[in-house]
Amino acid sequence: MSLGPSGVGRGRRYHPHVMSELIEIFRAGGWVMYPLLGLSVLAGTLVVERLIFWASNMGNARRFGLYLADLQAGNRSGAIARARDDRGVLSRLVRMLGSSQTAPSEGVGVAAVESLRPPIERFSALLGVIIAAAPLLGILGTVTGIIKSFDLLGAATAVSDPTAVAGGIAEALYTTAFGLMIALLAVFPHALFRARSERTLARLEALAGAMVDAAD
C-alpha cells in the first residue's frame, strides 16, 4: 500500500479542507443556519434517547405472549412472578395491577395503562414539530437570500462583483437543503417510534383487560 505525503494510505486519505468547506457552507447559509443547527442537534438527541428506550423494551411481543398465556390459563400469580424478574413497560403494568390484594377493576386497568403512556410517547410531538419546522426555516432562509440578491440587483449603482449576488443565492439554496435534510433524517425514526408506541399501547390495553378478567 502506497502512502501519501502525510503517511496515510490512499484508501484512508484525510482531506484537511473538508471541515473548512463545511464551515464556509454554514456561513454562506446566513443566520438561519444557526437555528437549523440547533434543531438538528435536538432531533439527534431525541432520536438517540428513543432508541435507548425501545432497545430496553425489545422482545415486547414475546413477553406479551407469555403473560397472556399465563393469564388465560388462570395463572395470575405466575404472571406476576414473571414480571418481578422482567423489565419493560409490560412487566411494569403487571406489577402495578398485581401489587394490590384486591382484584383490580376495569377503571384501575385503564388508569394503569394511561400512567405508562407518557414514557412511551415521550418526545413524539416534539419530533413532529422539528420535522415541520426545519423545512419552514429553510424556506425562510431561501426568502431572505433571494431578497438579499434582489436588493443588490436593484441598487442604484451597478453590481461590479457577481459573487455578491451569488452569495444571496447560495444562502437561499443552502438553507433549503439543510432544512429538508433535517426533516428527512427525523421523519423515518419518528414514524418507527410512533408505530412501536401504538403497538405497545395496544398490548398494554389487552394485557390490562386480561389481568382484570383473571382476577375475577
Is pTM beyond 0.85? Reply is no
pLDDT for res 170: 64
- The tens-digit pLDDT sequence of the chain (216 residues) is 444 444 444 545 555 577 777 777 777 777 888 999 999 999 999 999 999 999 988 888 888 898 889 888 888 888 888 888 888 899 999 888 887 766 778 888 899 999 999 999 999 999 999 999 999 999 888 888 777 766 666 654 555 555 555 555 666 788 888 999 999 999 999 999 999 999 999 999 999 998 888 776
Which pairs with CB-CB distance under 8 Å and at least 24 residues apart come from 184-190? 185/40, 185/43, 186/43, 186/47, 186/127, 186/130, 186/131, 186/134, 187/131, 189/47, 189/50, 189/51, 189/127, 190/124, 190/127, 190/128, 190/131
Residue 43 in 3-state DSSP?
A: helix
pLDDT for res 145: 76
